[in-house]
Amino acid sequence: MSEIFKKHISKFVQVSDDEFEEIKKFFDSKKVVKKENLLEEGEICRHHYFVLTGLLRKFFINEKGIEQTTEFAIETWWITDNFAYENQISTEFYIQAVEKSTVLYITQEKQEKLLEEFPAMERYFRFVYQRAYAAAQKRIQFLFSLSKEEFYLQAIRNHPEFVQRVPQYLIASYLGFTPEYLSEIRKRLLS
């Protein structure tokens, strides 16, 4: 199972088999069933998750009591509430399994140690954060520039694997509209 993680690291940096055996020790793994929460609002955000199999989402409950999804994570993606994780403070987010999933996870303290001891992992995480940051900037741009309908079309175009895999009501939750509105858009697109 950890082969998935090793393969992902190897995309960015070189790590020998022996080194990887040491790196692995910093992580624990966990299986979660569909709808199980890995993180809940109000908890200290202790872990950074790497998805080995399955699909997770991150959401918060807005002032209307509606779940607003802000992120998905499929295989080989990292997910956490980064601000709360770094500062070891309580989170406003939930992280929930959309499908039965297997994750690796690490604590903030162990991650710091890992990066100090393994410069290759420092480099690996620099790439991970750099890409995640670029993607978040793109998301902010789209939130300002695209209409809701364009946003949905963009999602279909750029991430067809998500749109097929994720239940419609969660896509609506990610795009920031009601399932009814999404259903209307879909009807309009099909006609």
* Interface residue list for its own copies (CB under 8 A): 60, 62-63, 68, 70-71, 81-83, 86, 92, 115, 119, 122-123, 125-126, 129-141, 143-145, 176
CB of 100 or CB of 179, closer to its own copies? 179
Among 100, 108, 50, CA closest to 79: 50
CB-CB contact of 73 with 79 (8 Å): yes
Cα–Cα distance between 102 and 124 in angstroms, integer? 21
CB of 130 to its own copies, least distance (A): 5
Tokens of 163: 């749109």
Q: Which residue has the tokens 């399932």?
A: 179
Please, what is the minimum distance in Å from the beta carbon of residue 53 to its own copies?
24
* Alpha carbons 187 and 191: distance in angstroms, whole number: 6
Q: Which of 70, 58, 62 is nearest to 142 (CA)?
A: 70
Nearest approach in angstroms of CB 100 to its own copies is 26
- Which is nearer to its own copies, 33 or 136 (by Cβ)? 136
Which candidate, 164, 35, 50, places its Cα nearest to that of 100? 35
Closest separation between CB of residue 58 and its own copies, Å?
9
**Shortest CB 131 distance to its own copies, Å:** 8
Complex with its own copies: residue 62 or 183, whichever CB lies closer: 62
Taking the least distance from each CB to its own copies, the nearer of 42 and 144 is: 144
